[in-house]
Amino acid sequence: MNFELDQHDTYSTLKLSGRALDATTAPDLKRHLHTLHEKGINNLILDLSDVEYMNSSGLSVVIIANRLFGRKGAFVLTHISAHVMKLITLAQLDEIITIKSTNEEAVNLFG
């Protein structure tokens, strides 16, 4: 899985390029998220437009990201596929994680 970071003054967008966020790819994403946080990024939009499949390993990284960036800033998921949204809803994470349809909607949260 590759990551494309787009930094702005008040937020950054991380786009994942890869079809699956699972036990194989989740550890790389987790390390990358920790690195971004250590570099001072506080508000993160995670663009999942290319992710078609996620399992519990992927959900775990999403929960970690929400805690990590939610401490001093905000964490938003965007462009979620139907399969991934179903998993997020079943895990009731849609009640604690901010989800927007598009990056533009997410950007509006940061004024």
- Tens-digit pLDDT profile for residues 93-103: 999 999 999 99
Provide mean pLDDT across the span 66-89. 96
7 vs 25: CA distance, rounded Å: 23
Provide mean pLDDT across the span 3-29. 96
111 pLDDT band, cuts 50/70/90, is confident
pLDDT more than 70, % of the chain: 100
Give pLDDT tens digits for 6-18. 999 999 999 999 9
Beta bridge pairs of residue 57: none
8 vs 84: CA distance, rounded Å: 27
Which pTM was predicted? Answer: 0.96
Q: Are 60 and 31 in contact (CB under 8 A)?
A: no
Give pLDDT tens digits for 34-77. 999 999 999 999 999 999 999 999 999 999 999 999 999 999 99
85 vs 10: CA distance, rounded Å: 27
Q: Are 80 and 89 in contact (CB under 8 A)?
A: no
